[in-house]
Amino acid sequence: MQQTWRWFGPDDVVTLDNVKQAGATGVVSALHHLNTGGVWPAAEVAKRRQTIEDAGLVWSVVESIGVGEEIKTRTGNFQEKIDNYKQSIRNVARAGVKVICYNFMAITDWTRTNLEWKLPTGGYALRFDAVDFAAYDVFVLRRKGAAADYPPERVAAAEQRFKAMSPAAIDALEKILIDWLPARDFVYDRAGFLKMLELYREIPPERLREHLVAFLREITPVAEEEGALLCIHPDDPSFPIFGLPRVLSNAEDVRALFAAVPSQACGLTLCTGSFGSNRRNDLVAMAKEFAPRVHFAHLRNTRHEADGSFYEAEHLDGDTDLIGVAAALMREEERRAAAGRADAQIPMRPDHGHLLGDDVGKKMNPGYSNIGRLKGLAELRGVMRTIEAFRAGRID
Ligand code: DNO
């Protein structure tokens, strides 16, 4: 697999130099400052590409061109936004960046309750605490009908938790849940968030899926014309939150999408961490089944707890068998190479990393530390090299 690394642009404190030192060759980047629904101008795309190439790297993947709420809800100026999206696809593809990742999560992007959860080793991880989440949803946000979405014992635990929280702790939790950048290119306050939740009450999952398919039927032909590969990123977590509809949380969702839009240009970002947040997902089986249409892989791990919480574990030490996933994707690469396909190499990136060592206290994007990701990539590189050696018969 091609080893890539997410870089948020010139303001990212983890520099392109760091990317090279980590041994990645490809960069995953987006024009975050332009992710408000307009066209990404060709000149801006060219500028980002030049910056990456000047550092001796290649811009391999766009992650992400943001999909506005108008497109997901099919309200307001959604058609204009779809047209802009098409032009952005053309502009990035013509600049040579052919893999385009996006997601279709209503309002939110990946959601955690704690961005610096102390691990037994002393490093810090991202964590989703099911009780904190319910405490916010039921007792702070007071979303209509929220309590009915949780088992009664979780609501009871959440009430206790809420009663013990200081106003500052509540503010901190709220900031993490509805108002932070840049995993999302947008922020909400409580009133704005509740308003969006109301809008989505009218949109059950089947409707949201129809909206996704309608969107893809418009943009996939553009990607085909440009030789680009679209790859949807799964819902994170891969179960409903805030009562919002979900459309890409498990194998059935992927099957339904692939059947509705049967083009090779309409593919998947296999994010093992996002799908892995739902214990029912078998990532090795999913990697095998969907491999022909996996255009990009995010490799990270999760560890589940009895009460529904999970945290982001060591790359090789969570509940997901990342060695099995890597082996499945590498088999797919062999098949593609044998068929002479141009996309024989699947770009992968070590997704998220723990906050470790000298990185602690630096202003890094949560999950996007230097040392933690470097460690994740190094471990995954070791896995890939070992699989290669084994398959080449150099070891038995
Ligand atoms: C989390 C990321 C996601 C991802 C988007 C893709 O770290 O994998 O934020 O970039 O969901 O659109």
DSSP codes joined into one string, 99-131: EEEEE--SS--S--SEEEEEPTTS-EEEEE-HH
Pick from 35, 100, 110 the residue to mutate for probing ligand 1's pocket: most ligand atoms within 8 Å of its CB.
110
CB 183 less than 6 A from any atom of ligand 1? yes
CB 354 less than 6 A from any atom of ligand 1? no
Residue pair 34/66 in contact by the 8 Å Cβ criterion = no
What's the longest Cα–Cα distance across the chain?
61
Considering the entire predicted model, what is its pTM? Answer: 0.96
Point out the residues that are catalytic. Answer: 233, 271, 298, 351-352, 368
Helix locations, 136-271, DSSP H: 152-164, 167-178, 190-201, 205-226, 251-260
pLDDT tens digits along 346-390: 999 999 999 999 999 998 999 999 999 999 999 999 999 999 999
Listed in sequence order, the residues at least 6 apart from 193 whose beta carbon sits closer than 8 Å to its beta carbon are: 107, 141, 178
- Rounded to the nearest angstrom, the distance between the alpha carbon of 339 and the centre of ligand 1 is 31
Read off the DSSP letter of residue 369. Answer: -
CB 296 less than 6 A from any atom of ligand 1? no
Q: How high does pLDDT run on average in the chain?
A: 96
pLDDT tens digits along 190-244: 998 999 999 999 999 999 999 999 999 999 999 999 999 999 999 999 999 999 9
The amino acid that residue 133 corresponds to is F
Residue pair 101/233 in contact by the 8 Å Cβ criterion = yes
The amino acid that residue 77 corresponds to is N
The amino acid that residue 384 corresponds to is M
| The pLDDT value given to residue 179 | 81
Indicate the domain borders of the chain: 2-112+203-391, 122-196
Kindly report the three-state secondary structure assignment for every residue of 12-45. CCCCHHHHHHHCCCEEEECCHHHCCCCCCCHHHH
- Rounded to the nearest angstrom, the distance between the alpha carbon of 110 and the centre of ligand 1 is 7
CB 235 less than 6 A from any atom of ligand 1? no
Q: 294-299 and 266-271: which strand pairing?
A: parallel
Q: Is the peptide bond before 64 cis (omega within 30 degrees of 0)?
A: yes
pLDDT surpasses 70 at 326 = yes
Q: In which band, very low, low, confident or very high, does the pLDDT at 183 lie, cut at 50, 70 and 90?
A: low
Atom of ligand 1 nearest to the CA of 103: 12
Read off the DSSP letter of residue 320. Answer: S
- Number of neighbouring beta carbons within 10 Å of residue 69: 18
Stretch (H or E) spanning 88: helix 78-94
Could you give the C-alpha distances from 306 to 73, 127, 146, 182, 316, in angstroms and in order?
35, 14, 21, 30, 21
CB 42 less than 6 A from any atom of ligand 1? no
Stretch (H or E) spanning 84: helix 78-94
What topology does CATH give the domain 2-112+203-391? Answer: TIM Barrel (3.20.20)
